[in-house]
Amino acid sequence: MNLLSLFADFAAGAFLCNCIPHLAAGLRGELFPSPFASPPGIGNSHPIANVIWGVSNALVGVLLLDYAPVTVGLNLPFVLTVAGAYIGGSLIALHFHGVRQGKKSANSN
């Protein structure tokens, strides 16, 4: 177990968590912010763009898990994967909460 594998597990959790809102919005035919929007991450993207972004995130997450396989249980790789999902998901939730509340715009960071 090397440092790169542990980072890959953490990142896999974050990518897999991030695929969920984009796929959910895209598959429902709803507009949702993505990196392809204007401004990126704040403006709304077409549902197809969100499906593409969601599938891309899922693919990266799965490829990272292929590189650094995880066994479900009380072990460091699994804990890091779950931590990646929790931390990544929390940061994404905070970002989109600000976007939805109008606290983030094209002129704010």
Domain extents in the chain: 3-100
Dihedral (CA of 27, 30, 35, 36) sign: positive
If you average pLDDT over residues 43-72, what whole number do you get? 97
What are the pLDDT digits (tens) for 59-83? 999 999 999 999 999 999 999 999 9
Q: What is the pTM of this model?
A: 0.87
